[in-house]
Chain A
Amino acid sequence: MDTYLQALQTLLDQTVPHCRHIGLRVLKAQRGQEGLGAAVMQLKWREDLVGDPDNGSLHHGALTTLADTTGGLAIYTSLPTGTPLATLDLRLDYLKPSAAGGTLLCHAQCLKRTQKVFFMRAEIYQGPADLEDSESDWQHSLGAPSAAPPLALATGSYIITSLGFAPSLQTAAQTATQTAAAHGEAP
């Protein structure tokens, strides 16, 4: 995992407790052209996230958290550090239940930005059952996900708020680099 992704993951783990709680991982993130960022995140199946015990599919709430966070991250990649971002609205279409076991992948893309408001679209796919952390297993490219139909579609708008301030990516990146150095790894 490169330094930028590691910094984003550290940022999420430190400042978004629920993401750590549910096990969300950043797989890709890029600022994109004209500040229209994109991101890919993964959510591994866990028994405690099941919504329907009859088929073992994940609760829609877990899918919504995945879509909301990936969408927010896609937008956040193109914002100056410390910009406070809030979800204004979110719509989800549930196309089919997720499989019991395996991994879900969410691709999110910022489609339009204005001074205050950002529009994003996201899709959730059933990932390969054996997708592990190694990046070589991960062949999907941003904006061109797998040929299989998605499990869920999400569209949402986000707004830069006046409340508080968002965590600083720069600080998180520094922390990640320091952590890596402390463990004797190359940054």
Chain B
Amino acid sequence: MSVPSASKKPALVSLTERLKTEKRFQEIDQAIPYAKFIGLKTEMRPSGPVSLLPFRAENIGNSTLPAIHGGVIAAMLEHAAAIAFLWHHEKQAMPKPVSLNINYLRLARPEDIVAEGQVIREGRQTAHIAVSAWQESPEKPIATATANILLSMPEV
């Protein structure tokens, strides 16, 4: 995971580029400590990458129900938004989320969660991404979110 010293690009940008080129994009999570901390994984599907959050007892936010913590779900939604953006964006710029809007729709049971983002609009300066997370089926989302991302173009 070493980065050429001549490169002025942030290490994460260089890594993203390399992983996409080498078709090992799902390894991006390993470069983000917090993604490893909650157990986030990226899986490649024919339509593109989806984010997976395998169930872990440490991610529970209410042990009485029980339910997964809303903050963990928010983290997953934002991660899935960034992954969707990185996958679709040709110039490989690293996204900087400016804001995130989350709606909690159903109880997140102590099971795996899947999330997929969709780039709704990409302008010159910002991108707008919608994300949905589900457990049982995509038709029954447990949470949805929209993220506004500021594009930071690496200097050429």
**Interfacial chain A residues near B58, Cβ < 8 Å:** 17-18, 21
Q: Is the CB of B60 within 8 A of A53?
A: no
Within 8 A of B (CB), among A92-145: 92-94
Residue on A with the closest CB to B32?
A: A51
Q: Is B98 among interface residues, defined by CB-CB distance under 8 A?
A: yes
A91 to B69, CA, bound (A): 16
Q: Is the CB of B11 within 8 A of A61?
A: no
Within 8 A of B (CB), among A23-69: 47-54, 58-62, 64-69
Q: Is B120 among interface residues, defined by CB-CB distance under 8 A?
A: no
Q: Is the CB of B61 within 8 A of A18?
A: yes
Q: Is the CB of A60 within 8 A of B99?
A: no
Q: Is the CB of A64 within 8 A of B71?
A: yes
Q: Which of B12, B74, B97, B101 is close to A68, meaning CB atoms less than 8 Å apart? A: B74
A130 to B34, CA, bound (A): 23
Q: How many residues of A contact B (CB 8 A)?
A: 40
Q: Which of B12, B34, B36, B62 is close to A15, meaning CB atoms less than 8 Å apart? A: B62
Residue on A with the closest CB to B107?
A: A163
Binary contact track B122-133/A, C-beta < 8 Å → 1, others 0: 000000000000
A130 to B46, CA, bound (A): 49
Instruction: Categorize the interface residue count of chain B.
Output: 35 or more
Q: Is B79 among interface residues, defined by CB-CB distance under 8 A?
A: yes
**Interfacial chain A residues near B11, Cβ < 8 Å:** 53-54
Q: A16-B63, A59-B75, A90-B70 are in contact. Are A48 and B37 (CB under 8 A)?
A: yes
Q: A68-B70, A89-B103 are in contact. Are A59 and B35 (CB under 8 A)?
A: yes
Q: Is B57 among interface residues, defined by CB-CB distance under 8 A?
A: yes
Q: Is B31 among interface residues, defined by CB-CB distance under 8 A?
A: yes
**Interfacial chain B residues near A58, Cβ < 8 Å:** 34
Q: Which of B60, B69, B99, B103 is close to A94, meaning CB atoms less than 8 Å apart? A: B99
A16 to B64, CA, bound (A): 9
Q: A53-B12, A59-B32, A90-B102 are in contact. Are A17 and B74 (CB under 8 A)?
A: no
Within 8 A of A (CB), among B94-114: 96-104, 107
Query: 9 new A-B pairs (CB below 8 Å) besides A15-B64, A69-B61, A92-B99?
Result: A17-B57, A19-B61, A48-B33, A49-B33, A50-B33, A65-B69, A65-B70, A92-B74, A164-B64
Closest 6 CB pairs of A and B: A61-B75, A65-B71, A59-B34, A18-B69, A64-B74, A54-B10
